[in-house]
């Protein structure tokens, strides 16, 4: 690119960058490899091909949308490594089949599915600590916690007073709370009151304790909320929103040109709860954060309402905690909110210090740690790279802060850059999660895959480069990208972490604990279960507990019981339990579902259910 001469204005420099960037973008689209580059692409992107047997540099945790799960990808290869069932049922893991996960899902409402959108990994001191991931259920108002030692869902909170939990994010720097941002307005409590009076509906902001997964308090607000992101210093938390009109039809919801970003003052809310300024609804303290609430009248309101155009969708805080950036969705701009100024201004609108014109349908923004923001343009099918400080310096509606745009295929929702949600993003890779793939993959019928595209953003001089397409089953929304060495997955289970008694070889028991109840404790190993046969009576309740006594990593067994809808998995050193009714007399071949050895097919045992008489 042409280097800017020293006399150039910043704005001219940005323009020069935009031209070079546009060319870079073109080069990227061709995907050409420079023969002399030693595996480098034309833009200096490191080779994203991870050779067989080699490991990726990053974990990417993608939400599965209405599939209800989390997908784990390696980056930069984009290889899908694992799925973690969360709100769905998943037989390979026995999730929703063994007693523990079945009871957890039952207690969380008993739904068979959920809509995961925002996977966020816990942080300590504004950096990923590898402990947990959290994800919302947009459909049923829940928040789940995933243990990143075992890569499994270990808690689900059914959030009272919240129908549809959309935004999900942690209060930083140390994950004090996980926030569930309520979307739909409904009567609170939703017990039949006010059904015909939408003006009485409300939505709440819920603070969940990450250790206990209990809701500590909620804040009732005006209007609909949408997405959320926390400041990095534990004070402000931002939500976007639409429907400040408080309508119930589309035309009512889009009547006004403005909506509200809400800035929640976490310490002020905690003080209100401490002082007893709340009403307990469905066992949760609910603080009134509506605009006319007395708690919002003084110098230290608990919620500041910041008018922004029009139905802002994504919001994310910059790595340096200076700004919260909300994307306009139905407006071509983003609003740059100065977080420090929020404390000082009396009119919250004065805290908006930048409004760059980015393009059509700006949805979500990520960061590279070098002062750039990257925003998806849903309607334009592009990712736009722009300079944050240039946007603060420029006039409102100026396009000058735009550095470069790159086409994506097609209609991106979220995008996420490596470690973008921490205070120290890596600034190398970015994934654009595109809603449509149209003709980019072999046709598979009227339902198409989505398209997750990997873009290299590490070269400011030559611009962004599209590196890879990955078809994706519907439908990833958001993701978190974490350096691989920040996560330490277990190789085998530690029996101490499991509530059930470990049953070694020789310790297996079958015990009739009541007239109609049998308890089985047995082990599994290559190529047998602890008992070659188990006999019970018709009508018995059977508690079947199985320990996988293998020490070798990767050797899984499962216990499948035909015609009883049972498939429980046992990873090495794991003990799993299932309780079922043996209602129908007969012989049922219980077998192992994982191909664990050459004698895997012989790894089975008979469940004999004797007829009553």
By the criterion CB under 6 A, which residues form the site for ligand K7E? 117-118, 166, 227, 313-314, 363-364, 413-414, 477-478
How do beta strands 604-610 and 533-537 pair? parallel
Least distance (Å) between residue 603 CB and ligand CUA: 4
- Can you read off the two tokens belonging to residue 512? 């009739």
Restricted to residues 520-559, the positions that interact with ligand CUA (CB under 6 A) are 557
In the list ligand K7E, ligand CUA, none, the entry touching 596 (Cβ below 5 to 8 angstroms by class) is ligand CUA
- Can you read off the two tokens belonging to residue 364? 């979500």
Composition of the chain by helix, strand, coil, percent to 5: 15, 40, 45
For ligand CUA, the closer CB: 186 or 603: 603
596 binds ligand CUA (CB under 6 A): yes
Q: Exactly one of 324, 603, 607, 609 binds ligand CUA (CB under 6 A); which one?
A: 603
What's the CA gap between 516 and 407, in Å, rounded?
A: 65
- Can you read off the two tokens belonging to residue 308? 């922004």
In the list ligand K7E, ligand CUA, none, the entry touching 363 (Cβ below 5 to 8 angstroms by class) is ligand K7E
Phi and psi for 291 in degrees, rounded to 5?
Answer: -60, -35
For ligand CUA, the closer CB: 588 or 594: 594
What's the CA gap between 585 and 591, in Å, rounded?
A: 18
For ligand K7E, the closer CB: 273 or 363: 363
In the list ligand CUA, ligand K7E, none, the entry touching 478 (Cβ below 5 to 8 angstroms by class) is ligand K7E
Piece of 261-269, 531-539, 578-586, 591-599 that binds ligand CUA (CB under 6 A): 591-599
66 binds ligand CUA (CB under 6 A): no
Cβ neighbors of 321 (< 8 A, separation 6 or more) are: 231, 232, 233, 339, 423
Least distance (Å) between residue 72 CB and ligand CUA: 24
In the list ligand CUA, ligand K7E, none, the entry touching 378 (Cβ below 5 to 8 angstroms by class) is none
Sequence length of the chain is 613
Piece of 43-51, 115-123, 407-415, 588-596 that binds ligand CUA (CB under 6 A): 588-596
Least distance (Å) between residue 596 CB and ligand CUA: 3
CA distances from 168 to 62, 135, 217, 261, 323 (A): 14, 7, 15, 16, 19
529 strand-pairing partners: 524
In the list ligand CUA, ligand K7E, none, the entry touching 117 (Cβ below 5 to 8 angstroms by class) is ligand K7E
Q: Exactly one of 287, 391, 431, 592 binds ligand CUA (CB under 6 A); which one?
A: 592
In the list ligand CUA, ligand K7E, none, the entry touching 185 (Cβ below 5 to 8 angstroms by class) is none
In the list ligand CUA, ligand K7E, none, the entry touching 592 (Cβ below 5 to 8 angstroms by class) is ligand CUA
For ligand CUA, the closer CB: 159 or 522: 522
Category of 563 on φ-ψ map: left (φ > 0), alpha (ψ -120 to 50) or beta? left
Annotate each residue in 412-441 with x if it binds ligand CUA (CB under 6 A) or - if it does not, as one string.
------------------------------
Mapped onto helix, strand or coil, the DSSP state of residue 498 is coil
Least distance (Å) between residue 602 CB and ligand CUA: 9
For ligand K7E, the closer CB: 285 or 312: 312
Least distance (Å) between residue 328 CB and ligand K7E: 13
What's the CA gap between 559 and 608, in Å, rounded?
A: 15
- Asked whether 399 and 384 are in contact (CB, 8 A), the reply is no
Instruction: Tell the residue number behind the tokens 């609108």, with chain if given.
Output: 349
CA dihedral 117→121→127→130, nearest 10 degrees, is: -160
Q: Exactly one of 87, 151, 456, 594 binds ligand CUA (CB under 6 A); which one?
A: 594
Least distance (Å) between residue 406 CB and ligand K7E: 18
In the list ligand K7E, ligand CUA, none, the entry touching 557 (Cβ below 5 to 8 angstroms by class) is ligand CUA
Q: Which of 579, 582, 540, 578 is nearest to 563 (CA)?
A: 582
In the list ligand CUA, ligand K7E, none, the entry touching 357 (Cβ below 5 to 8 angstroms by class) is none
In the list ligand CUA, ligand K7E, none, the entry touching 118 (Cβ below 5 to 8 angstroms by class) is ligand K7E
- Can you read off the two tokens belonging to residue 163? 């129908």
Least distance (Å) between residue 166 CB and ligand K7E: 6
Least distance (Å) between residue 113 CB and ligand K7E: 16
By Cβ distance, which residue is nearest to ligand K7E? 413
- Residues contacting ligand CUA: total by CB under 6 A: 7
- Can you read off the two tokens belonging to residue 111? 């739904």
Least distance (Å) between residue 118 CB and ligand K7E: 6
Cβ neighbors of 244 (< 8 A, separation 6 or more) are: 222, 223, 224, 256, 258, 259, 260
For ligand K7E, the closer CB: 203 or 265: 203
In the list ligand K7E, ligand CUA, none, the entry touching 600 (Cβ below 5 to 8 angstroms by class) is ligand CUA
Q: What DSSP string runs through 331-392?
A: SSBEEEEEHHHHHH-SSGGGGEEE--B--SSEEEEEE-SSSEEEEEETTTTEEEEEEHHHHH
Q: Which of 373, 463, 385 is nearest to 425 (CA)?
A: 373
For ligand K7E, the closer CB: 102 or 414: 414
Q: What DSSP string runs through 219-251?
A: EEESS----EEE-TTSSEEEE----TT--SSHH
Least distance (Å) between residue 227 CB and ligand K7E: 5
Least distance (Å) between residue 452 CB and ligand K7E: 12
In the list ligand K7E, ligand CUA, none, the entry touching 594 (Cβ below 5 to 8 angstroms by class) is ligand CUA
Give the chain's radius of gyration (CA, Å).
Answer: 27
Strands (E), 461-593: 465-472, 479-483, 509-514, 517-525, 528-529, 533-537, 540-548, 557-561, 566-570, 575-582, 586-591
- Which residues of this chain interact with ligand CUA, rule CB under 6 A? 557, 592, 594-596, 600, 603
């Amino acid at each position: 690119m042409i280097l800017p001469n020293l006399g150039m204005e910043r704005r001219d420099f940005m323009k020069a960058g935009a031209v070079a960037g546009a060319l870079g973008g073109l080069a990227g689209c061709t995907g050409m490899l420079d023969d002399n580059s030693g595996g480098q692409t034309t833009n200096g992107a490191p080779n994203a091909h991870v050779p067989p047997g080699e490991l990726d540099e990053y974990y990417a945790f993608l939400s599965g949308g209405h599939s209800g799960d989390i997908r784990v990808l390696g980056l930069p290869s984009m290889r899908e490594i694992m799925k973690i069932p969360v709100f769905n049922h998943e037989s390979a893991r026995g999730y929703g089949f063994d007693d523990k996960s079945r009871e957890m899902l039952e207690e969380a409402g008993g739904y068979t599915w959920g809509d995961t959108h925002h996977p966020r990994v816990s942080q300590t001191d504004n950096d990923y600590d590898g402990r947990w991931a959290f994800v919302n259920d947009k459909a049923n108002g829940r928040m789940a916690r995933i243990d990143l030692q075992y890569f499994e869902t270990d808690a689900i909170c059914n959030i009272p007073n919240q129908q549809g939990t959309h935004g999900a994010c942690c209060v930083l720097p140390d994950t004090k709370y996980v926030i569930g941002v309520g979307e739909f307005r409904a009567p609170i409590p939703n017990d039949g009151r006010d059904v015909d009076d939408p003006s009485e509906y409300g939505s709440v902001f819920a603070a969940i304790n990450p250790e206990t997964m209990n809701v500590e308090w909620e804040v009732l607000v005006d209007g609909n909320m949408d997405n959320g992101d926390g400041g990095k210093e534990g004070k402000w938390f931002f939500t976007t929103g639409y429907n400040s009109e408080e309508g119930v039809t589309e035309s009512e919801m889009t009547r006004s040109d403005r909506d509200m970003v809400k800035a929640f003052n976490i310490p002020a809310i905690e003080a209100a709860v401490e002082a007893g300024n709340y009403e307990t609804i469905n066992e949760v303290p609910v603080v009134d954060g509506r605009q006319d609430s007395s708690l919002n009248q003084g110098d230290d309101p608990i919620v500041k309402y910041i008018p922004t155009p029009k139905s802002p969708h994504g919001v994310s805080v910059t790595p340096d905690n200076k700004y919260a950036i909300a994307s306009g969705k139905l407006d071509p701009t983003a609003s740059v909110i100065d977080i420090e100024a929020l404390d000082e201004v009396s009119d919250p609108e004065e805290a908006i210090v930048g409004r760059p014109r980015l393009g059509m349908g700006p949805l979500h923004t990520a960061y590279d740690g070098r002062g750039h923001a990257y925003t998806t343009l849903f309607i334009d099918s592009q990712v736009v790279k722009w300079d944050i400080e240039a946007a603060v310096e420029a006039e409102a509606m100026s396009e000058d802060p735009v550095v470069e745009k790159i086409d994506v295929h097609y209609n991106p929702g979220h995008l996420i850059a490596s470690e973008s949600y921490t205070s120290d993003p890596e600034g190398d890779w970015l994934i654009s999660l595109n809603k449509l793939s149209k003709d980019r993959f072999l046709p598979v019928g009227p339902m198409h895959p989505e398209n997750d595209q990997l873009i290299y953003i590490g070269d400011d001089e030559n611009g962004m480069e599209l590196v890879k397409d990955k078809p994706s089953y519907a439908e990833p929304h958001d993701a978190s990208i974490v350096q691989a060495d920040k996560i330490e997955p277990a190789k085998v289970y530690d029996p101490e972490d499991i509530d059930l008694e470990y049953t070694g070889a020789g310790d297996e028991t079958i015990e009739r604990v009541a007239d109609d109840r049998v308890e089985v404790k047995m082990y599994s190993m290559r190529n047998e279960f602890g008992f070659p046969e188990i006999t019970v009576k018709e009508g018995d309740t059977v508690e079947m507990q199985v320990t996988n006594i293998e020490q070798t990593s990767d050797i899984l067994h499962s216990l499948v019981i035909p015609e009883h809808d049972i498939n429980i998995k046992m990873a090495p050193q794991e003990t799993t339990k299932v309780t079922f009714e043996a209602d129908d007399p007969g012989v049922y071949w219980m077998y192992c579902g994982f191909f664990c050895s050459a004698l895997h097919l012989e790894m089975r045992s008979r469940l004999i259910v004797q007829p009553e008489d």
